[in-house]
Amino acid sequence: VENSVILGLFINIIEGLKKYYRESYIKTIVGRLLKSLEKGREGSLIINYLTSESRLDIRWKESRIYRLASYPFAALTSFLSKRYDAVEGLLTQSGILTVIRAFLSNVFKYSVRSYGMLLFALFASETALWLLFQVNDLRNLAIRAVLLLITFIMLFFNIPVAALFKGSYLYRLIEGAFLDEAAEYDSAKNRKSAGLFFPALAGIGLGIMAYILPAKLAALGIAAVLAVVLILWRYEIGVFMAAGFAAVLSTTQLLLLIGLTLASFALRWLLGKVPKYTATPIDALVVLFSVVLVYSTATSYFVGDSLGVLVVHGLFLAFYFVLTRTVNTRHKLYLLVLFLIISGTLTSLYGVYQYYTGGVAASAWIDQEMFEDIQTRVGSTFNNPNILGEYLIMMIPLAFAALWYRKKPIYNVVFLGMLAVMGIAMIFTFSRGAWLGLMLAVIAFFVVRDKRLLALVLVALMIMPFVLPPSIINRFTSIGNLEDTSSSYRMSILIGSWRMVQDYWISGIGLGSEAFKAIYPKYSLAAAYAHHSHNIYLQIILEMGTAGALLFGLIIIVFARALLVHQKRTGDSFLSTLMIASGAGIAGYLVQGMVENIWYNNRVLFTFWVVMAVGMCALNIGKGEAQTHD
C-alpha cells in the first residue's frame, strides 16, 4: 500500500496544497486572524480561567468536599475487605461456584478440542432434531454437514485456544486490555483440560435451544450466553462491549449489558482485585448530581415514570465510574477509542446505505414546501436524523484524534476513510443543529490542537458553496428562518417551556417525559403537544430544578478546565489530542443541545458519559495517576 500510485498521488496533492497555501494571501489573512484571536484570549477572564494552571488539584485533595466524596467509596471498600474471607470461603466451598470460577479463570487456556466438542454437540443435537421432525431442504442439510465436519476436525487439536492467536496483530491488540494476567498459553503446563463430558452436555443444551427457538432468536441467545461467560471472566470485556455496541443495541439490551458488567465488577471488587479509588472533583460533582436525580424522582409529579428514568441514569453514571477506573493504561484507551470509531463508522455506513435505498421519508422531519428537493434523511440505527447527528458530533472528533496520532500513511488512509464515512452520514442527516455543533467541535479541536489548522476550515468554508448540492446549501442557510415550520414549531415549544420554567425553576417537575407532557399543555402556544422542551438546558431545569442545572454546569466547566490545563502539561501527543477531541465533541454536542433535548435518547445519553469518561481517562493516564489492575 505504501508504494501505491494512488497513495503517492494523494500525498503529492497534499504537498502541492501546502506549497500553494504558503505562497498565498490566505496564509497572511489566517495569520492576522490568529493574532486577533490570541489578543482576545489574553483579554478574556473566562478563557484565562479555563486554561490557566493552578493549585486546584492540591487544594481539592486537602478539602472537606474531597473527603466527603471519597468517604462512600472508602467505606464500601472497607466493608467489603472485612468480608473478603467469607466471600472467598463461599466460592471455594460451593461445588458449582468452584466449577464456574475455574472455567472463567481458564477460558483461553482450555484446548481447541474442548470447544470443538461443545460446538460439535451443539450442531449434532440440533441437526438430529431437524432430521427427525422437519427435514425439507437439502441446502440446509449441506450447511449443517459442513459445520459438523469443521467442529469434528477441532476434536483433533489438543492445544490451548490462545496458542492459535498468539503473536498475531489481533492478539497484541487485545492482550494489554483483557489478557494482562495471562501466562504463556502455549506451554504444556498451562494447558487446561475441560474434558469432553461437560462441553458435550453444554453443547446438547444449546443445540436443543437452537432448534426450539427461531434462528435469529437462537443466535441471539447463544451470543448472550457467550457474552455472559466472557464478561464474568473479565468485566473489562463488558465495558468495551457496552461502549462499542451502544449504537446498535436497543436500550433494554444496553441496560442488561451494563448491569451484567457492573455485577462482574462488583464481584471482582469483592475479591479485592480492583485498585484503590482516588476521587476527582468531577466525581464529587457527579455524586451530588446523582443525589439531585434521586430527589427529583422522589418529588416528581409521576414517581413511577421518574423511577424508571432514575434507574437508567443510575446505571449510566455507575458505568462512568467503572469505565474511568478500568481504562487505566494508554493501550486500553487506544483500544477503547478504536472501538468507538469503528462503531461510529459502521453506524454511518448503515446511514449512507439508507440514503441510497430510501431511508426515512423527509416529509416526516422537514417542511416539504421549503425543502422539496430533500426526499430522504437518514437516522441509521437511531431511527431519527437529529439523534444520529448528536451521536456523530461526539464520534467525529475522536476520529480526528486517531488521524492526528497515527503517522503511517496506511493508518492515515484508514482513519481518513472512516472520517469521510461519518462526515457523509452527518450530511445526509440534514440536521442543521448537528451541523452547527460539528462545526464548533471541529473549530474547537483545531484551535486548541494547532491554530494553524484553522486555515483548513477557512478553505473548506470557501469551497463548500461550489461543491455541495443546492439542497444542502439551502438547508444550512435556512437556520433561524421562522418561515420553516420546523423552526417555528421549535420556537413555540421553547417559549412554552420557558413559561413553565418561570413556575417550576426551584425544584422542577420530576424526571421523564410524562410529567412534561401532562403540564406543558397549560403553557403551550401553537405547538400544543410535545414530549420535551427541545432544549437540554431548559429540560434539566424543568426536571431537576436549579440545583440540577447548576451541578450540570459545574461538571461541564470543571471538565473543560481540567482538559484544557492538563493537555498542555502532558508530553504524550496521543493523550493530549484525545483530551482535546473529547472536549471538542462534548462542546459541539452541547451546542446542539440549544435546539434539542440531547438526553432524550438513552443511547446517546450513555455515549455522552462514555466520551466524558474518555477525556478523564486520558487526563488520569497523562497525570500518571491511573493504576494497573491486579
Please write the tens of the pLDDT for every residue from 363-400: 555 555 555 556 678 888 998 899 999 999 999 999 98
Residue at 38: amino acid letter: E
Helical spans, DSSP H, in 234-370 = 235-245, 251-270, 281-298, 303-326, 330-357
The alpha carbon torsion through 557, 587, 540, 282 (nearest 10 deg) reads -40
**Residue 630: is its pLDDT beyond 50?**
no
Cell digits for 152? 469434528
Confidence of residue 2 (pLDDT cuts 50, 70, 90): very low
**Other beta carbons less than 10 A from residue 270's beta carbon:** 18
Is residue 258 within 8 A of residue 315, CB to CB? The reply is yes
Residue entry with cell 484524534: 401
Q: Comparing C-alpha atoms, which of 67, 80, 70, 103 is closest to residue 273?
A: 80
Cell numbers given for 474:
439551502
Q: Please enumerate in sequence order all residues whose Cβ is within 8 A of that of 581, keeping only pairs 6 or more positions apart, or say none.
A: 397, 398, 400, 401, 445
> Looking at residues 506-526, what average pLDDT do you find?
86
Mean pLDDT calculated for residue range 312-321: 95
Residue 452, pLDDT > 50, answer yes
Pull the grid cell for residue 144.
449443517
| The three three-digit cell numbers of residue 50, written as one number | 479555563
- Give tens-digit pLDDT for 567-584: 888 878 889 999 999 999
Predicted pLDDT at 525: 77
**Helix (H) and strand (E) counts in the chain:** 28, 2
* Best CA proximity match to 547, nearest among 315, 314, 291, 281: 291
β-strands 376-377, 360-361 pairing: antiparallel
Query: Over 80: is that where the pLDDT of 348 sits?
Result: yes
- In this structure, are residues 566 and 579 in contact, taking their beta carbons and an 8 Å threshold? yes
Highest mean pLDDT among 45-59, 374-388, 521-535: 374-388
> H/E/C letters for each residue in 111-164?
EHHHHHHHHHHHHHHHHHHHHHHCCCCHHHHHHHHHHHHHHHHHCCCCCEHHHH
Neighbours of 244 (CB within 10 A): 21
**Do residues 601 and 382 lie in contact, with contact meaning Cβ atoms separated by under 8 Å?**
yes
pLDDT of residue 548: 92
Instruction: Tell which residue, 437, 434, 439, 473, has the closest CA to residue 456.
Output: 439
| Grid coordinates belonging to 409 | 500513511
The three-point CA angle 91-104-621 to 5° equals 100
Span 124-146, average pLDDT: 78
pLDDT recorded at residue 311: 95
d(CA 428, CA 379): 9
Residue 21 pLDDT > 80, yes or no?
no
The string of pLDDT tens digits covering residues 407-438 is 677 777 888 899 999 999 998 888 888 888 99
What whole-number distance in Å separates Cα of residue 455 and Cα of residue 147? 57
3-state secondary structure of 359: coil
Region of 327 on the Ramachandran plot (φ > 0 left; ψ -120 to 50 alpha; else beta): beta
Per-residue confidence band for 340, with pLDDT thresholds at 50, 70 and 90: very high
Averaged confidence pLDDT in the chain: 77
Phi-psi label, residue 545: left if phi above 0, alpha if psi -120 to 50, beta otherwise: left
Whole-number pLDDT of residue 182 = 41
**531 touches 17 (CB < 8 A):** no
pLDDT at 161: 73
DSSP string, 606-623: HHHHHHHHHHHHHHHHHH
Exposure on the CB side of residue 343, measured as CA atoms within 13 A: 25
**Most confident of the ranges 34-43, 56-65, 95-104, 131-140:** 131-140
- Whether residue 22 is predicted with pLDDT greater than 60 in this model: the reply is no
Number of Cβ within a 10 Å radius of residue 84:
12
User: Does 272 score more than 70 pLDDT?
Assistant: no
Query: 543: closest CA among 290, 238, 292?
Result: 292
Residue 361 binned pLDDT confidence (cut-offs 50, 70, 90): low
pLDDT of residue 71: 64
DSSP-derived secondary structure letter, 377: E
Neighbours of 187 (CB within 10 A): 10
Report whether pLDDT(129) > 70.
yes
Question: Which run of H or of E encompasses 168?
Answer: none
- Percent of the chain scoring above 90 in pLDDT: 26
Beta-carbon contacts of 515 under 8 Å, excluding residues fewer than 6 positions away, are: 300, 301, 302, 305, 306, 509, 543
pLDDT at 438: 92
Distances from the Cα of 479 to the Cα of 392, 431, 491, 562, angstroms: 20, 10, 12, 33
Q: Is the pLDDT of residue 92 over 60?
A: no
Q: What is the pLDDT of residue 423?
A: 93
The residue written with cell numbers 498542555 in the block is: 568
For the ranges 38-42, 251-255, 482-486, the one whose mean pLDDT is highest: 251-255
For residue 448, CA distances in Å to 232, 451, 527, 577 come to 41, 7, 41, 9
> Minimum mean pLDDT among 70-84, 132-146, 440-454: which range?
70-84
- Comparing 311 with 59, the larger pLDDT belongs to 311
What does the pLDDT read at residue 583? 94
For residue 580, the model assigns a pLDDT of 93
Q: Is 272 left (phi over 0), alpha (psi -120 to 50) or beta?
A: left
Q: Looking at per-residue confidence, does 260 or 187 come out higher?
A: 260
- C-alpha triplet 443, 447, 451: angle, nearest 5°: 120
Selection from 152, 327, 161, 276 nearest residue 230 by Cα: 161
C-alpha cell of residue 20: 500553494
Helix (H) or strand (E) holding 361: strand 360-361
How far is it, in rounded angstroms, from Cα 255 to Cα 602? 10
What cell does 567 get?
Answer: 493537555
Q: Which of 615, 504, 510, 505 is nearest to 566 (CA)?
A: 615
CB 445 within 8 A of CB 580: yes
Q: Name the percent of the chain lying above pLDDT 70.
A: 65
Radius of gyration of the chain (CA): 27
Distance between CA 447 and CA 117 in Å, rounded? 58
3-state secondary structure of 526: coil
